Structure 1
Amino acid sequence: MSVARRVSFALVAAAVVGGAAAAAFGVGGGSADPGERPSAAQTTTVTRRTLVDQTKVPAKVAYGNAAPVVSQAAGTVTWLPAPGTVVSRGQPLLRADDQPVVLLYGALPMYRQLTAGAKGEDVKQFAQNLKALGYSGFPVGTEYTEATATAVKRWQKALKRTETGSVEVADVIYAETELRVAAQSVRVGAKAAGAVLTATGTGRVVMADVPRPDERLAKPRNAVTVILPDGKELAGEVSTVGTGAEPSTVEGQQPPQNQGGGETIPIVVTVKDQGALPADPDARVTVKYVAETRADVLTVPVQALLALGDGGFGLELRDGGTRRVVPVRTGLFADGQVEVTGDGIAEGVTVGVAA
């Protein structure tokens, strides 16, 4: 239950029974003869249970937000991978003038020509990729040597490129991991320079739009539970939190519905057990966040609370034909119940409930 709901429960309780409390105690408190006090129309008993303060929002399994894949190649696009294709290290992301532009892994972009004598972290990043592709006989460091150039010629031969021993800016596109093509941004025959594709990672995530009243869920590293359509629960963690009111969008998919309307906060939840996520790309799930749990506490329905004149709350205790109002301390509000403690409050005690 959200903070707003907890407050509203208190306000509803005060509104429903406030008149009876005021008649009994007056605005400033005091006492009144029990026989003159309006009686609650129904009764219930104090129960012992575990209260869970939680928030649930609808969500969707997806591959995450798609990002543009930008080519620096000149010429014309002659081939693009189809949406849904997974492209790994060393494989082409496009062909420009029928030459492959391949994916390599790394955080640095390809910003200059690499040739013998070049030095820098970008050289090391490229050399690490070349080694990972199975090539050897060169130092994996920050210097592009003649041995590196020789290995590059072997790589270029395998790609059916001209064997120059140098790597041009247009030859490579870097990403931090393998990519899944979300959509083609241009058609074959378009200019090759610019955004040619959109792509995501290959790991699936859970995306949700959290209503503002439940924004306590939308905190990075919050531990959450993902409830699958069959009721199975998976552990997850909030990895990304958006800032705007716009709903989260996934290429080619509709965002999860915000049943309450109004402003929302988009979040992304990561799930380690990828194999347990539904295979259906349109699967709807639920994200549950537990803010607080109170085990083995005494509770009553929120409607049993009486708003006292001093601003606190009380309960009307019933014992045979007698009744009396006692002040109580409230704790956690959840699922229409409220934690209560106070003199005379024990499991099984009968209390009045406002009609």
Structure 2
Amino acid sequence: MAYGSTPAPDENDSGNSHSTVQTTGRRERSSTRRRGWLVAVVIGSTLVGAAGVAAATLLKSPAQIAAETAPPAPDTLTAQVEQRVIADTLVTRGKVAAASTAEISVPASSGVPGSRPVVTKVKVQSGDQVSYGKVLFEISGRPVFTLAGAMPAYRDLQTGAKGEDVAQLQKALASLGYRTAPDAAGAFGAGTERAVLAFYKSIGYSPVRLATSGPDDKAGAARTPPPSAGDKGADAKATPTGAPAAAQEPQTVVTVPMSEVVFLSTLPVRADTVVATVGKAPGDKMLTLSTGAPVVVAEVSAQEKALLKAGQQAEILSEDSGLKVPGAVQAVTDAPPVGKGEQPGPAAGYLLRIAPNSPLPADLTGKEVRISITASSTDGPVLAVPSAAISAGADGQTSVTALGSDGRLRRVPVRPGASGGGFVAVTPEAGAALAPGDKVVVGRTP
């Protein structure tokens, strides 16, 4: 019989067989209960262990909590001593503007005599660059053009006229390639007449020709209409030879009407505002021109004005295009513009004018730019420390605190100098040592 096996009951031992089955069932149930208790004990032990670990993690001693929540130890903030140029820079905003502006007007009597003055053509647009010899517009079919000259046109110039304005006309024509020789400067003769004829032809027009009553009348500057046949007989008079004046042929003189020429003293010139309109009568304001190279104008406060003077270096920056152009302070007004009172702060505007070292693009006219002006500067590199490193002791002496390589702090008496850009020039007092690369204290963390 194998070990642990149960003998098979015979047919006659029914009572013993029943007892054996009951005993076996009880043993199996008891074993199952023991296994369940064992599993429960293991799980419980695991849970208790985990709870212990969690409790150990969450529970901290007062000393440990104080150490973890205490602020960090204070730290010393330092900066290096430098050798650099100290510059005090003023930054402000300005606007690109023309050096000067001029309003062009046309007399109401301009155009063809006997016709109603009206604008028939406009040949310039806002933003155009205007050169000498440029036709701006037409009035009743007659041109209005530009020539070089500082003297404004105040009379019609024609053959026989003399004066400074004639000399200006001759010089302007010569600059365009139309020589007036052999005429003397200031005398409107045959040479000037030929130059005028050639110029008008180049711009597509014929010059005005006015009739005179005879060769001795060429010096007259008035625009005289041709005389009628009746006038010739009525006004007949003796000539030096005794012949009547009516028998002579009427002569014409070439004329440059004052209403057709606009003298410009300098280039470049830009058309700003065009008011002239085709079909409208000419007015007091036909066109506004900007003359001279563009400059930058700005307004500064009284405090800023005290830092500025002519000749200081400046930089002009167009933030739209990124263009940078060096320039210089040209002028600062001594008083605010008329109508502005002496109010404190930036509202009291003193006009500042910056001239660029090279021409600004014409399309910048009227746009805002940023201006950086070097108000003061040292002649060269100097010993400099951040302004935060400067302190005054109880003894009234200015000093900096240097941090040595051994971690020790030492006080270095210094004399402060120029300041700008967050730095101060310093000179160590006699017996004190401070050199570029040394570290100076600029603050401490809390």
Asked whether the two chains share a fold, i.e. TM above 0.5, the reply is yes
Q: Residue in 2 aligned with 1:289? A: 373
SS at match of 1:166: strand
Q: Which of 162, 165, 168 is the equivalent residue of 1:122?
A: 165
**Equivalences for 1:105-254 in 2 at 5 Å?**
105-138=148-181, 139=183, 141-156=185-200, 158-164=204-210, 165-178=254-267, 179-185=269-275, 187-192=277-282, 194-201=284-291, 203-215=293-305, 219-229=309-319, 233-239=324-330, 241=332, 245=336
Residues 232-281 of structure 1, C-alpha deviation per residue, up to 9 Å, x if partnerless? 643323445556656xxxxxxxxxxxxx9533344443435448x59666
CA contact (8 A) 2:93 2:298 kept: yes
Measured in 2, the distance between the counterparts of 1:345 and 1:135 equals 73
Q: Which has the higher contact order (CA 8 A, sep 6+)?
A: 1
Q: Residue in 2 aligned with 1:333? A: 419
Residues 85-140 of structure 1, C-alpha deviation per residue, up to 9 Å, x if partnerless? 23322222332233112111111111223233433221111011222333335326
Measured in 2, the distance between the counterparts of 1:114 and 1:89 equals 18
Q: Which of 68, 71, 78 is the equivalent residue of 2:106?
A: 71
Question: How many residues of Structure 1 are paired with residues of Structure 2 in the alignment?
Answer: 303
What are structure 1's unaligned runs of at least 5 residues? 1-39, 247-259
What are structure 2's unaligned runs of at least 5 residues? 1-73, 111-116, 211-253, 338-344
* Superposed displacement of residue 73, structure 1: 5.2
CA contact (8 A) 1:46 1:345 kept: no
Q: Residue in 1 aligned with 2:385? A: 300
**One-letter amino acid of the structure 2 residue matched with residue 149 of structure 1:** E
Measured in 1, the distance between the counterparts of 2:272 and 2:331 equals 20
Measured in 2, the distance between the counterparts of 1:185 and 1:241 equals 33
**One-letter amino acid of the structure 1 residue matched with residue 325 of structure 2:** L
CA contact (8 A) 1:72 1:169 kept: no
* Superposed displacement of residue 149, structure 1: 3.1
Q: Residue in 2 aligned with 1:54? A: 89
Q: Residue in 1 aligned with 2:433? A: 344
* Superposed displacement of residue 329, structure 1: 0.5
**One-letter amino acid of the structure 2 residue matched with residue 163 of structure 1:** R
SS at match of 1:329: strand
Measured in 1, the distance between the counterparts of 2:155 and 2:363 equals 41
> Based on CA coordinates, which of the two structures has the bigger radius of gyration?
2
Measured in 1, the distance between the counterparts of 2:407 and 2:328 equals 54
Counterparts in 2 of 1:163 and 1:202: CA distance versus 1, 3 Å? same
SS at match of 2:165: helix
1:101 aligns with 2:144: yes
**One-letter amino acid of the structure 1 residue matched with residue 83 of structure 2:** R
Which one has a larger percent helix, Structure 1 or Structure 2?
Answer: 2
Measured in 1, the distance between the counterparts of 2:133 and 2:363 equals 28
CA contact (8 A) 2:297 2:353 kept: yes
CA contact (8 A) 2:83 2:436 kept: no
Normalized against structure 2, the TM-score is what?
0.57
Measured in 1, the distance between the counterparts of 2:261 and 2:440 equals 74
Measured in 2, the distance between the counterparts of 1:59 and 1:53 equals 19
Measured in 2, the distance between the counterparts of 1:310 and 1:190 equals 82
What is the alpha-carbon root mean square deviation over aligned residues?
3.7
Normalized against structure 1, the TM-score is what?
0.69
Measured in 2, the distance between the counterparts of 1:345 and 1:73 equals 79
Measured in 1, the distance between the counterparts of 2:349 and 2:300 equals 5
Measured in 1, the distance between the counterparts of 2:187 and 2:391 equals 78
SS at match of 1:160: coil
Counterparts in 2 of 1:117 and 1:325: CA distance versus 1, 3 Å? same
Percent identity of equivalent pairs: 27
Counterparts in 2 of 1:297 and 1:174: CA distance versus 1, 3 Å? same
Measured in 2, the distance between the counterparts of 1:227 and 1:100 equals 41
SS at match of 1:118: coil
Measured in 1, the distance between the counterparts of 2:371 and 2:96 equals 11
* Superposed displacement of residue 222, structure 1: 3.6
Counterparts in 2 of 1:241 and 1:83: CA distance versus 1, 3 Å? farther
Which one has a larger percent strand, Structure 1 or Structure 2?
Answer: 1
